[in-house]
Amino acid sequence: MKKYIFILILALSITNLNAQEVRDAVRYAQDNINGTARFRGMSGAFGALGGDLSAINVNPAGSAIFSNNQLSFSINTTSINNNSNYFGTQSNKKDNSSDLNQAGGVFVFKNQSQSSNWKKFSVAINYENTNNLNNSTFSAGVNPTNSIDSYFLNYANGVPLSTLEDSDYQDLGHGAQQAFLGYQAYVINPVNTNANNRAYTSNVPGGGNYFQENSVVSNGYNGKLSFNAATSYKDKLFIGLNLNSHFTDYRQTSRFYEDNNAPLTSRYTISRLQFDNELYTYGTGFSFQLGAIAKVTNELRLGLAYESSTWHRLNDEFSQKLVGVSANTTEELAPDVVDPNITNFYEPYRLQTPSKITGSLAYIFGKKGLLSVDYSRRNYGNTQFKPVNDAYFAGINNAISNLLTSANELRIGAEYRIQAWSLRGGYRYEQSPYKNKTAVGDLTGYSTGFGYNFGGTKLDLSYASFSRNNQQGFFEQGLTDGAKINSKNNTVTLTLLFEL
């Protein structure tokens, strides 16, 4: 017979087991429009323009467009407003953050030989946060049907009772660990006490109307350091290469709470519970980019760029805590509390995100202004956890190919110059990486900005906004109900630029 009070503390447990999900793959495969204020003010439509340090992240040939050496530094402030609807109950959560978003420099070497067709050579180094991962969501409401017990039952059914009673947590796979938690916290019980029992029932009262809260707080970034080289042929064709080093640092803390008002009986029942999870992911990666820009005429430019897969090497630290509070008419005012604390350190693993191709067109109206369009395509279904022959990763990769698809992105930017002033605007549209377009919806964004040229120094300011709907289950198995969330992202960027 299990004790009414059970406390399990496991710290620094080393395991080679896995806990990755499809949503983790999407998180590191996606990027955002970040960088200089000029780049953001035109929604990143720089594939055929170049001449901006952030533009080399779209097309590495862009550094050969520069006429002079240049340094730039950008800071931004981001505000994210998440409006949640969970079974008709509205909730709101806001998150604000500021950071040094971009820093880099380009150095231009002009060929003094009049007989050579290779007019210019440039090298650049640039760091950017490709994706700001700071975000907070909160959802609350009454679920008329499903309880968190289905999460633990989904993992437990098929696992021998002897495994849950006699094994140590650190010796179990991720699925069996979840079953272990549910069993030790009294959320589930075996159908019978036979050691070979593989079927379980719930201690959560039936009847529905479960009040649930889900809070998720995320902090971190995906960063990219680019080493660039480019050259110019007759000032008509520009060719470039990037070698990119990637950095990932991400922490997510989630808390799920549930209670019910079902009438109590003499049978042991769970009245409320709290399930905490914390994930910390960090690592490095590598990718490369190739690009070309052609001046068809003095006004018309065409661009083509290829961005390889990013080969990440990541590490996960994962901890959980489950608190179950029961009420029993035979033990008045004496609830049983189970509080396991678990920390897992997983073996490093690899993640290969999909490649991307970008075609661009720009028209230059002399010194008055310009109009630019970028079109990109990426197949998120090609994302893979590795090694692919690992049974767990094979299952996740199969889910990725079934759930994710190709996504297109359109970016349009314009700039108009009035003496030393520059006025800018942009539009972007990005399709959902999910086939159903419900888990993560399409993205629509707008931007504006201005800049002033002091001569050797330039100051740029931009405002960019985008919105996206999503509805992902609180958990990927069992309790797959999730809130409908409308997310609005607003970013102000300031860039100081020096020409040397």
Q: How far apart are CA 140 and CA 399, in angstroms?
A: 28
Which residue is listed with tokens 């409908």? 484
> The tokens of 282 are what?
């960090």
Report the pLDDT value the prediction gives residue 359, as an integer from 0 to 100: 98
Mean pLDDT of 164-193: 87
Q: How far apart are CA 456 and CA 104, in angstroms?
A: 16
Report the pLDDT value the prediction gives residue 416, as an integer from 0 to 100: 98
**Which pairing describes strands 341-346 and 9-15: parallel, antiparallel, or unpaired?**
parallel
Residues 6+ apart with CB under 8 A from 172: 17, 163, 180
Report the pLDDT value the prediction gives residue 337, as an integer from 0 to 100: 54
Q: Are 317 and 353 in contact (CB under 8 A)?
A: no
Q: How far apart are CA 362 and CA 357, in angstroms?
A: 17
Q: Are 261 and 209 in contact (CB under 8 A)?
A: yes
Q: 355-394, pLDDT tens digit by residue?
A: 999 999 999 999 999 999 999 999 999 999 998 888 888 9
Report the pLDDT value the prediction gives residue 341, as an integer from 0 to 100: 67
> The tokens of 27 are what?
């998180």
Report the pLDDT value the prediction gives residue 6, as an integer from 0 to 100: 35
Mean pLDDT of 239-244: 98
**Residues counted in the chain:** 500
Amino acid identity for residue 176 in this structure: A
Strand-pairing partners, residue 128, are 102, 224
Report the pLDDT value the prediction gives residue 261, as an integer from 0 to 100: 78
Report the pLDDT value the prediction gives residue 4, as an integer from 0 to 100: 32
Report the pLDDT value the prediction gives residue 266, as an integer from 0 to 100: 66
- The third-level CATH classification (topology) of the domain covering 9-148+204-499 is Porin (2.40.160)
Beta strands in 28-88 (DSSP E): 70-86
Report the pLDDT value the prediction gives residue 21, as an integer from 0 to 100: 86
- For residues 353-389, b (16+ Cβ closer than 10 Å) or e, as one string? bbbbebbbbbebeeeebbbbbbbbebebbbbbbeeee
Task: Calculate the CA 458 to chain-centre distance.
Answer: 32
Of the candidate ranges 15-29, 107-121, 197-211, 286-300, the one whose mean pLDDT is the lowest: 15-29
Sign, CA torsion 142/148/154/158? negative
- For residues 279-299, b (16+ Cβ closer than 10 Å) or e, as one string? bbbebebebbbbbbbbbeeee
Q: At what angle do helices 174-184 and 149-156 cross, to 10 degrees?
A: 120
Residue of 484, 474, 486 whose CA lies nearest to 88: 484
Listed by start position, the domains of the chain span 9-148+204-499
Report the pLDDT value the prediction gives residue 270, as an integer from 0 to 100: 85
Count Cβ atoms below 10 Å from residue 266 Cβ, excluding itself. Answer: 8
Report the pLDDT value the prediction gives residue 402, as an integer from 0 to 100: 95
C-alpha distances in Å from residue 267, one per residue of 132, 147, 205, 322: 49, 18, 10, 21
Is residue 14 predicted with pLDDT exceeding 70?
no
Question: H-helix or E-strand containing 295?
Answer: strand 269-295
Burial of 196 (0-12, 13-18, 19+ CB in 10 A): exposed
Report the pLDDT value the prediction gives residue 20, as an integer from 0 to 100: 80
Count Cβ atoms below 10 Å from residue 145 Cβ, excluding itself. Answer: 11
Residue of 286, 365, 378, 306 whose CA lies nearest to 47: 306
> The tokens of 459 are what?
């100051």
Residue 390 DSSP SS3: coil
pLDDT-based confidence at residue 268 (cuts at 50, 70, 90): confident
C-alpha distances in Å from residue 174, one per residue of 13, 57, 216, 346, 475: 13, 38, 21, 11, 14
Q: How far apart are CA 296 and CA 276, in angstroms?
A: 58
Q: 298-337, pLDDT tens digit by residue?
A: 999 999 999 999 999 999 999 888 888 776 544 444 445 5
Report the pLDDT value the prediction gives residue 171, as an integer from 0 to 100: 80
Residues 6+ apart with CB under 8 A from 467: 443, 444, 445, 486, 487, 488, 489
Residue 149 DSSP SS3: helix
pLDDT higher for 23 or 408? Answer: 408
Report the pLDDT value the prediction gives residue 346, as an integer from 0 to 100: 84
Q: Is the pTM of this model over 0.85?
A: yes
Report the pLDDT value the prediction gives residue 363, as an integer from 0 to 100: 98
Q: How far apart are CA 167 and CA 149, in angstroms?
A: 22
pLDDT higher for 32 or 447? Answer: 447
What are the backbone angles phi and psi of residue 156, rounded to the nearest 5°?
-80, -40
Query: Mean pLDDT over all residues of the chain?
Result: 90
Residue 335 DSSP SS3: coil
C-alpha distances in Å from residue 228, one per residue of 54, 120, 125, 288: 11, 14, 6, 10
